[in-house]
Amino acid sequence: MAEEWESNGARKLAGFTGRYSVSLMGWGCVSYHGVGKLVIVDCPMKSTNYIDILVHNYLDSVENMFEDTKNQFIFQHDNAPVHRTRNVKTWLDEHDVEDDPVASSVT
């Protein structure tokens, strides 16, 4: 069987391990009320990209999971540096998103 290679050195054959590794970054949300969207992130994680993910995925997920109980939840993220930027905090405030930085920072 011929091996096919991606430009980044990863093998195209599923389940075939090589000397190169491939990593994926994802964003998703889950709650007591259900599961939201799961998104593969294919760009560098900067505050503008994170806000774009929130705009296109978080808002829809919240609407689907909490249609009867809007604003009765606390948004938690893993407190990565991009989550603490002024732009992200401003966006969360503008959209009345209650987040809990203390709970997010617990490891």
Q: Tokens 């997010």 — which residue?
A: 104
- For residue 99, the model assigns a pLDDT of 79
pLDDT tens by residue, 62-79: 887 777 655 567 788 777
CA 87 vs CA 63, 64, 68: distances in Å:
23, 25, 29
56 by Cβ neighbours in 10 Å (0-12 / 13-18 / 19+) ranks as exposed
Global model pTM greater than 0.85: no
Half-sphere exposure of 16 (CA within 13 A, CB side): 11
Per-residue pLDDT band at 91 (split at 50, 70, 90): very high
Lowest mean pLDDT among 21-30, 41-50, 86-95: 21-30
For the chain, percent of residues with pLDDT exceeding 90 = 12
